[in-house]
Amino acid sequence: MSTITTNDGTQIYFKDWGTGQPVVFSHGWPLSADAFEDQMFFLASQGYRCIAHDRRGHGRSSQPWDGNDLDTYADDLAALVKALNLRNAVHVGHSTGGGEVARYIGRHGTERVAKAVLIGAIPPLMLKTPANPGGTPIEAFDQLRAAVLADRSQFWNELSLPFYGYNRPGAKTSEGVRESFWLQGMMAGLPASYFCIKAFSETDLTEDLGRFDVPTLILHGDDDQIVPIGASAMLSSKLIKGATLKIYKGAPHGMCTTLKDQVNAELLAFIK
């Protein structure tokens, strides 16, 4: 397996497919690099070098107790970029991965970054606060934590329904996609599954978005039941200078899977 080892001894697993300009993928919670296989295979076939890592605590990476926060996630990403000596890279982040990309740019700048893509991403802040009245109340995240501790296997099974919009009338459900989501969720360690909830819900990425100075594409479904569009993409697109926002009508959170052909074409056009 391809891995790098970070400063605190955590092993980060990554896939590295194809050659050409690097496209680096940051996945969402509780998934792994596998969540981006459709995009990676497509873009690698189009002449790009596609790299995706399993975030610490997730997938095939180590499961440390510490470091399940966006600062460390961003530093792990920086360590991977440095180890592979990536330059002129396009960074694509979905959900929590979009927060990872934002914090990476906020902490490490854009010297090695050509462009950025945020898909169904968490920035600027998911949590409802006096300054962020459109956010999600803390009680919702407390319920997630309780569900992870109570029976996370059953919880991942149930979460796959709203994640891919399979709970909507007339939705064509893929049991295979649901099983893949469950499997990726079960590969994540319990500490990461639990602690990452605080990371993705309570981290304010407003200032990080202000440090973006590369072309940025924001894709979001207007029926995203996991990261509601009003408190995320609608605000991020205003905070990132010159960002392009594309709203997918009726699309769910897991649109990289359910609308993979559309997302793939969108990414290729933007990268080109």
Residue positions annotated with a catalytic role: 95, 224, 253
Output the CA torsion 181→182→185→190 (10° steps).
170
Nearest CA to 267 out of 46, 117, 164 is that of 117
CB contact burial 66-102 (16+ within 10 A = b; e otherwise): ebbbbebbbbbbbbbbeebebeebbbbbbbbbbbbbb
- Structure tokens that stand for 219 in this block: 């894709």
Phi first, then psi, for residue 217 (nearest 5°) are -110, 130
Give the Å distances, CA to CA, from 242 to 99, 210, 212.
18, 11, 9
